[in-house]
Amino acid sequence: MNKPQSLYLFLFLLCVTILAFTAAILAFRFKDSLTVPHLDIIAPVVMSVLAVVLLISIAHLVMQYRGTSVNLQDMPPRIAREDQMVLFVPFSGEQLSRLSLNNNIIDVKYNVVESGKRLIEPRKFVLDVTQSYGFCPTKKIQVVVNSDSKCQLLFTNEEIAQINEPGMYFVVSGNASIVKSNLQKLKLNIKYPEISDSNLLLSCEYQKICTGSMEDLLYILKSQNIQSGETVYEKLLSDIFVTCPNRKDQVVPDSTSVALSGKELWINTNSGRLALSLMKILGPEKTLIDLEDLKNKGSPLYNKIIWVKDYVANNVCHVSESSVGLIFNRAKGIFCRNIARISKYYCVHDDRVTTSGQKFSSVLAEAMRKDEKLLITMAIASYSCDGTANVDAEANYFIRSILALEPQKSDPVLKEVEELLGSNPYKTIDVNNIKFAGSKVCAVIKELVRGSTGCTVQSIINAARMSILEKQWDSVPVTRTMGSTMNIGYVQKICYYNRREVEVSTEEEVCSIVDDVASTSSTQNLILPGNVQ
């Protein structure tokens, strides 16, 4: 039974009860002239039954109004600036049709299990929406957030008017300026909402810069290459063990009970001490390398790892701060070149924030004004031959847009690059050819190809792109995704809305309209990032 039905039943019972009480009063007043048998017994029983039924209907109706009301609107909700904000959650029409308009929403919870089932498909957020049905059991409906769009927290009516898709609006009373400031300061990305005790909680993500702490280091070491499955730890350890001898007595002492001694032992070399520190950081009982696979392949790396691993387990080894710093820098280099999105040239247009706080495009623009070699390198990197993959088109456009900031310097260079490289990516260019004498572009190419005389056009372009990537790796910090939960305020109402074109009122008109939502005070509780729920 929904809210309207419960209300009608209550009104009906109220009318019947009033009429019955009126009839009873009249009957007792004129009982001497009435001949109804056992009236003094029947009347109190009927009155008692009606009273109990009426009380039950009142309790049922009250329980129906638990939570937040829901309605379908043909106009977007309006908000009072500074006092209210609106969260838009994208749902398809099919998902919205699962929910009842006549029953309040008690709470909204993130369904971890159902969301985790969709491993093959792109990740989806499944929400459990609980609606009130009075004395009847509450009903929990699963709805899926539209993955093609994202949740948006809107602070103005103009922002609301820009939404052009079906979904759900949560009108919230809170301190919008504080919430907006925290969203912008931490660059929070809203994943999904939850409602608890009529308060709207936002589960958010943000990118934390890895500064070299142990947590940051472990995150980088455990990161995997999507294609090969190789971890940074595995790659780093393999690189370190390249110099390790194949004889155990040259790597560690013959007896593990003897303290570390002898400069001739590999574990006393720089690489050896780095290997000891790396294994100590992760723990000697753990390894991110598949040792059984190495053993089955007969790899000499298996024995080397086992020797050092056993030594760490049976001896006291200290990890110095300098070792941690060196490991972090080497692991960061592997991460940037093999794991992260910034390892690919075609992602350079992401224009990430650098350690200085500037965008990478600003760093390049500032540097190329002072360094002509960098300007030439950018011109070569952004050059595209006929028939080459279009995957680099956005990155090339990004570099060219930076070069366009200095047209007097870049235009002649771009023209010379085009004349020199031509349209055939497989054409070989001899940089020592006499006709290139005095060419600044050719001089930069010589540096890029590290002295090689005959190089194909595409290899020259690739070398220039690698140079741009190396500059990016030196400028852009490694980040990792962190979670946070923010309580933004009290939910005043929830609206379903199928978008249509509307005219946005001016601020003066908006302020003159009486808001249909009752003003409600609430205490804000902001949970700062770091406490993931």
Q: Domain for residue 531, yes or no?
A: no
Q: Domain for residue 532, yes or no?
A: no
Which is it for strands 479-497 and 167-173: parallel, antiparallel or unpaired? antiparallel
The reply to whether 398 and 313 lie within a common domain is: no
209, two tokens: 């810069």
CB 111 within 8 A of CB 128: yes
- Which among 306, 339, 372 is the end of a domain? 339
Q: Domain for residue 236, yes or no?
A: yes
CB 421 within 8 A of CB 460: yes
Q: Strand (E) positions, 198-301?
A: 199-209
486, two tokens: 């923010």
Q: Give the helix ranges, DSSP H, for 340-456.
A: 360-370, 372-381, 393-403, 407-421, 440-448
155, two tokens: 């602070």
The reply to whether 436 and 496 lie within a common domain is: no
List phi, psi (to 5°) of 482.
Answer: -120, 155
Enclosing H/E stretch for 302: helix 300-314
Say how far apart CA 85 and CA 460 lie, in whole Å.
53
The reply to whether 98 and 123 lie within a common domain is: yes
CB 336 within 8 A of CB 473: yes
Partners of 107 in the β-ladder: 130
The per-type count for the chain, helices as H runs and strands as E runs, is: 19, 13
CB 173 within 8 A of CB 519: yes
The reply to whether 152 and 231 lie within a common domain is: no
Say how far apart CA 166 and CA 178 lie, in whole Å.
28
Q: Write down the pLDDT at residue 509.
A: 38
Q: Domain for residue 152, yes or no?
A: yes
Say how far apart CA 97 and CA 101 lie, in whole Å.
9
The reply to whether 224 and 196 lie within a common domain is: no
Task: Kindly tell me the burial class for residue 461, based on how many C-beta atoms sit within 10 Å of its own C-beta (0-12, 13-18, 19 or more).
Answer: buried
The reply to whether 234 and 314 lie within a common domain is: yes
The reply to whether 126 and 183 lie within a common domain is: yes
Say how far apart CA 28 and CA 31 lie, in whole Å.
5
Q: Token match 């100590």: residue?
A: 280
Q: Domain for residue 77, yes or no?
A: yes
Give me the helix-helix angle, 440-448 and 372-381, nearest 10°. Answer: 70
The CA-based angle 30-33-38, given to 5 degrees, is 80
The reply to whether 434 and 367 lie within a common domain is: yes
Q: Which residues, including other chains, have CB under 8 Å from residue 215's CB and lie 6 or more apart?
A: none
The reply to whether 224 and 332 lie within a common domain is: yes
10, two tokens: 């209550």
Enclosing H/E stretch for 354: none
Domain that holds residue 56: 3-64
Alpha-carbon distances, residue 89 vs 66, 76, 79, 163 (angstroms): 22, 13, 17, 10
Q: Domain for residue 356, yes or no?
A: yes
Q: Write down the pLDDT at residue 44.
A: 72
The reply to whether 152 and 78 lie within a common domain is: yes
Q: Which residues, including other chains, have CB under 8 Å from residue 179's CB and lie 6 or more apart?
A: 85, 153, 486, 488, 489, 524, 526
Say how far apart CA 216 and CA 281 lie, in whole Å.
12
Task: Kindly tell me the burial class for residue 229, based on how many C-beta atoms sit within 10 Å of its own C-beta (0-12, 13-18, 19 or more).
Answer: exposed
- Answer positive or negative: Cα dihedral of 279, 281, 285, 287: negative
What's the number of domains the chain is made of? 4
CB 135 within 8 A of CB 159: no
Q: Domain for residue 471, yes or no?
A: yes
Single pTM value for the model: 0.68
Q: What is the mean pLDDT of each run of 10 residues along the chain (533 residues)?
A: 58 69 64 60 71 68 66 79 87 83 82 62 76 69 85 91 87 90 87 89 90 89 83 89 89 61 79 89 66 78 87 83 89 88 90 88 94 95 81 93 94 92 87 72 88 84 94 90 90 77 39 35 36 35
Q: Domain for residue 432, yes or no?
A: yes
- Which among 339, 374, 405 is the end of a domain? 339
Q: Write down the pLDDT at residue 517.
A: 33
The reply to whether 36 and 90 lie within a common domain is: no
Say how far apart CA 123 and CA 89 lie, in whole Å.
16
Say how far apart CA 105 and CA 131 lie, in whole Å.
4
- Which among 64, 95, 117 is the end of a domain? 64
First to last CA, the chain: 35
The reply to whether 95 and 135 lie within a common domain is: yes
3-state helix, strand, coil in the chain (%, to 5): 50, 15, 35
List phi, psi (to 5°) of 502.
Answer: -130, 160
- The amino acid sitting at 4 is P
Give the rounded distance of the alpha carbon of 114 from its chain centre: 19
